[in-house]
Each structure stands twice: as C-alpha cells, then as structure tokens.
Structure 1
C-alpha cells in the first residue's frame, strides 16, 4: 500500500550508516524516514554476510554483522523513524527545504533534506565465466555470499578469490567444513595483512589447502550437484579439487541505478561530496557511507558513522533556518525526544 509521509530528513538506505544517521538526526531533534530497496534493514550486512565478524567497530573487538545491525536498530529505536522497505526511490524533485521523493510503489515522501546512504547502490556478484554455472547456482552448489556458516558444516568447500572475503571465510570455515581449498591466481593476497598471515599459518598446519597460482577452469557434476572444481595454472595445466560447494568471491558489480539520474556530480559510480559536510553538488542532498566520495575517503563503516554526524549537523540549519544549534555531548543531554 502506497504511503504519504512527511519528515525533516529522508534517509535513502537502511544499512549500518543509514541506521546511524537516524540516531544522529534524532539527537539534533530532526525527524527522519528511512527508505530501502531491500525488504529488511541492514544492507549488505544483513543480505550478504550476517554471520561475518567485523573487527574495526570501536568498543567491539569483534561483532558479527547481524549483531551490529541489531545494536544500531536499538540505538535508533527511541526516534521511531518509519521505514519504507522494498521500495526503490525513482525520482526526486523540489529543492532544499522542500523535496518530494517518489518510489516505485507509489509512495510520496516530503522532506526538507535528503541523505543518500545507499552503500554500493544496487549490487550483485561478479560471476566466473564457467559453463553450466546457472545449474549449480540454482542448487546452491555455487554461492557468492555466506548467510549461515552452519549450512557448510561437513562440506568440501572450494573458495576462489584473493580478497578479504575469501580469506575471512576460509579461516571461519576451516573448523567446520570437511575441507577448505583456496584458489588464487597469485601468491599474494589482497586481504588485511593479519588475516593473510593467519591464512598462511593455517595452510602450514594443513588446515587449509592453498591452490596457488591457479584459477577456475570448469565445474564437474550432474544435475547441479557438484563433485569437483577443475582449476588451471598459468601454463594451462589442470587439476581437480573434490568439492561440494564453490564459494566465488570476485567482488560485487555495483550500479547506482536511479541515483545516477538525479543530476548529482558523480565519479566512478560514487557521489562526490564536500568532505566537511557530506553535501552533494545539489544543496540539501547529502551522501554518506560507501556511496560517497571525496579525497582521502576510506570505505570503512566507522568513517560512514562520522559522515552521518557531519551530515546531520549540516542539515540542521536547512530544517531550522536562523536557529542556532547549541551542540551538547550525549553524556550531558541524553537522548532527546523528537
């Protein structure tokens, strides 16, 4: 059912940075509404890797992605921001102080400012060019994300890729899978140095089989049931790896979708912003998190949290023109009512 809503701020994206923007806006007594194309909050954290541990969230030596989303929801809960989920924003009109946002479900949201927290935009996996791939995807024999680690218990797992996802999941699965082999076309991994060192240590203890330098060549099985993954080295020599599951981690293909049609300054599928405010080239529209770009930008959740705070402070004079903002620390003022 189509909704008609009014709020101070429309936040497009319900990932971790979008949820924290609800909190930061609420702390400045700015009401917000959250819109997301996915049917649940959490963005990639919920959709792609809810059980993956995250190690660089302040005060949490380790927290899984789903746990982080749960805590962010609890933090934002006092501000009771409505959610329009399963909606794609199709059009934005108006100007700072009076924007109208339309969705593909017929919703209309009127807001004084907009925060784009859309992460990577629309995303999907980069698929390896292998014959009969679709039949194995249909049965789950080839996967690009791990939603529940326990579904791989006792399985022979082949992981392809050389980045953080490949290394992290190899380490996470080595104690529950029947076997774990990591296929990479070079000896050097692109993962964090500490986890790459852990991978090398696990390989040295024969807990993980490092298949280097090789790349995927073919899949062998029947009716979508995988028996082996064939790999080839740089000279074309092949070998077969026994496998029940192939996890292919070659990154995400991202698409800004309708965002690219909103007249904002873009660079390489990102929205350019002013670093001190996170405002885009259009007054009143801000971008934070992975979708935003400026010199020195780091694609870290914690930097997105900082950007949410900066954007909220920059939005306050748009919502309350001429009114001075007397900033107070949360330790002194608590959580205000919106």
Structure 2
C-alpha cells in the first residue's frame, strides 16, 4: 500500500542518529516521517549486532545495541513519527516554494519542508544469496535477513548462514526458543568475537546447536513459498538437506548511496560534506547527520550523530516556522512538547 504524506521533516535512515533526530525535531514541534530500506528500525544496530554491548553511550556504561534502539524509539514515540520501512528514496525534487518531494521505491510520495539524511554510510540492503526462487521464500518470511522478534522462531527449525557476529549471536539467542538451530559456514574459523564463538562451540558440543561446516547454501525447497528444507553443499559437491522453517542469511549489508549520489550534494568518497555548525549540505534545506556526513574533525561515533541531530533540528526550525523566533530551552524546563 502506497502513502501520500505531508510532513515537516523527512528523515532518511532509521538508525540511532535518525531516531534521535525525530526526538529533537519533536521537541521543536516539527513532525517527522522516517524512511528506511530495512524492514525494521535501527540500522546496523538491529541488522548486524542487536545483542552486542555498546560502551560509549553517555549514562549507559553498557547497553545492547538492540536495547538502545528500543529506548530511542520510545523516546521518539510521543511525537508520533510515521515510519515507512522496507523501501528506499528513489527521487527528490524541490518546488519553487523550497519544499521537497520524495518518491520511494514502493510508490510513496512524501512532501517535506526539510530533509535530514541519516543513512549511515549509504542505503543499506542485505547481501542476498544467489539461490533459485529466493524471492518467493522471502515474501513468506521463510528467508530473512534480520530478526525483529525472537518469538517468531519459537518451536521452529532455523538454519543460520554466515560467519560473523550476527550469525553467532542469533544462534546463541535462538537456541533458547527454536526447536533446532543449524549454523552453516564454509570454514571452521568464524569472524565473530572470540568469546561468543567459544560459547557457540560449547553449545554445539552439548548438542544445543548443530554446526554444518564446511558447507554453503545450495538450494531451497518447499511449496508456495513455504520453506521446508535447505540444501547444503561442500566445495567437493557433497549435498545434504536440512529441515528448515526459516533461513536466516547473515552475509552482511551492501552499502551504497544509490540515488542519493545523483542529488547534486557535495560528495567526498561516498560521504556527504556538511557545514558542521548546521549540518546543512550544499543544498539548503537538506541536512546530513551520522556516518554519512563528513567535515573536518568528524568522529564516526553514535554520540556524535546524536549531537549532529540536535544541531540539524535547530537549524531546520526557521525553515519550517519562518518568522517564528526560537528561544532555546533545556528539556528539564521545557518538558516534552507532545505531552
């Protein structure tokens, strides 16, 4: 279903910086619509390492990435943002009045007075395995590239393919609820944190997880898009079948600016150059924050993205409310504007 939305600020990217931008804009009474290529909010925190701890978020000595995203979503909730997920921005045009119209890959149209580009290092999409009839199994949820609800896999046979942190983390997590978890990797050495690899290997020794090594994905079996088995093969051509209700393919994310590269923004090696005092790009009204933004002294830290979100929101306010004075107030005295 396509949408036609009129909003104050279009936020491209639902990672930590983008979500905090919703809060900062909301505090200034600006409405946001958030667009992301992934099916769930959180960006890399959700897609790559939801259970990995982050240690440099102020006031949180240790917080799992997934929990950080949940807290950011709750922080933004009073301002009722609209989320358009599983689609990417394909077109952007500017009207004579200065507003922007964004068109998405699913046919949505979003009109906004300003744009915040928070797309990480680009538009993220999963690296998809080259398997026959893959799309049919994707549509039914038989093949997935991220986990949004662990309960979806309770009592199911789950095959996890990959050798990085996401594969190992979710193998350890899902073994607690799934009927069986099989991890497929083409070699014994994993690229994940040594501690979690050791935990997975110990679980395999106890029979809690099956390690299919050295194997790689060979094919999918089922009817009407409903997965029943995953075929695995060795480099020597030996093939075996594993019962599966779901295949989780964790081969990382492909990162590219995509259509954003054609918007005429000042680019520096696939990053967008901004004025650090405002976050504004070479096009007035379009701001960039987080990993996609670059300027002298830039640090690729989540906490710096948070700061950039606040700077961008305050810079955008005069564009959304021309002629209205903005008096800076601390949140402790101002409270939540939406309440």
Q: Please indicate, yes or no, whether the TM-score normalized by the shorter chain is above 0.5.
A: yes
Indicate the larger mover: 173-182 or 261-270. 261-270
Indicate the larger mover: 126-135 or 33-42. 33-42
Unaligned runs of 5+ in 1: none
The answer as to 2:113 corresponding to 1:110 is: yes
Indicate the larger mover: 15-24 or 48-57. 48-57
User: 1: CA distance between counterparts of 2:92 and 2:279?
Assistant: 21
- The residue number in structure 1 matching 2:126 is 125
Alpha-carbon contact 1:11-1:32 (below 8 Å) kept:
no
SS of aligned partner of 2:168: helix
User: 2: CA distance between counterparts of 1:99 and 1:139?
Assistant: 42
Q: CA deviation at 1:199?
A: 2.6
- The residue number in structure 1 matching 2:335 is 335
The answer as to 2:312 corresponding to 1:311 is: yes
- The residue number in structure 2 matching 1:265 is 266
CA deviation profile, 1:2-34 (whole Å, cap 9, x unmatched): 5555x4x5534455422311323455xx44232
Alpha-carbon contact 1:14-1:34 (below 8 Å) kept:
no
- The residue number in structure 2 matching 1:153 is 154
SS of aligned partner of 1:99: coil
User: 2: CA distance between counterparts of 1:146 and 1:82?
Assistant: 22
- The residue number in structure 2 matching 1:250 is 251
Report 1:191-202 matches (<5 A): 191-202=192-203
- The residue number in structure 2 matching 1:100 is 99
* Structure 1 residues 242 and 119: alpha-carbon distance in aligned structure 2, compared to 1, 3 A threshold: same
User: 2: CA distance between counterparts of 1:77 and 1:13?
Assistant: 16
* Structure 1 residues 110 and 325: alpha-carbon distance in aligned structure 2, compared to 1, 3 A threshold: closer
Alpha-carbon contact 2:158-2:181 (below 8 Å) kept:
yes
1:227 to 229, 248, 257: 229
- The residue number in structure 1 matching 2:209 is 208
* Structure 1 residues 108 and 152: alpha-carbon distance in aligned structure 2, compared to 1, 3 A threshold: closer
User: 1: CA distance between counterparts of 2:25 and 2:234?
Assistant: 53
CA-atom RMSD in angstroms: 4.5
SS of aligned partner of 1:32: coil
Q: CA deviation at 1:232?
A: 1.0
Q: CA deviation at 1:165?
A: 1.6
- The residue number in structure 2 matching 1:178 is 179
User: 2: CA distance between counterparts of 1:176 and 1:336?
Assistant: 39
Q: CA deviation at 1:161?
A: 0.8
- The residue number in structure 2 matching 1:240 is 240
* Structure 1 residues 165 and 3: alpha-carbon distance in aligned structure 2, compared to 1, 3 A threshold: closer
Q: CA deviation at 1:82?
A: 6.0
* Structure 1 residues 326 and 260: alpha-carbon distance in aligned structure 2, compared to 1, 3 A threshold: same
Alpha-carbon contact 1:14-1:35 (below 8 Å) kept:
no
SS of aligned partner of 1:167: helix
Q: CA deviation at 1:263?
A: 0.8
User: 2: CA distance between counterparts of 1:124 and 1:25?
Assistant: 27
Unaligned runs of 5+ in 2: none
CA deviation profile, 1:259-316 (whole Å, cap 9, x unmatched): 2222113356543445675443445532123433567643x64443233134345557
Alpha-carbon contact 1:183-1:215 (below 8 Å) kept:
yes
User: 1: CA distance between counterparts of 2:182 and 2:38?
Assistant: 33
* Structure 1 residues 122 and 214: alpha-carbon distance in aligned structure 2, compared to 1, 3 A threshold: same
* Structure 1 residues 39 and 33: alpha-carbon distance in aligned structure 2, compared to 1, 3 A threshold: farther
Q: CA deviation at 1:102?
A: 1.0
Alpha-carbon contact 1:20-1:72 (below 8 Å) kept:
yes
Alpha-carbon contact 1:10-1:115 (below 8 Å) kept:
yes
How many residues in Structure 1 have an aligned counterpart in Structure 2?
323
- The residue number in structure 1 matching 2:30 is 32
- The residue number in structure 2 matching 1:19 is 19
Q: CA deviation at 1:163?
A: 1.9
User: 1: CA distance between counterparts of 2:242 and 2:69?
Assistant: 36
Alpha-carbon contact 2:10-2:34 (below 8 Å) kept:
no
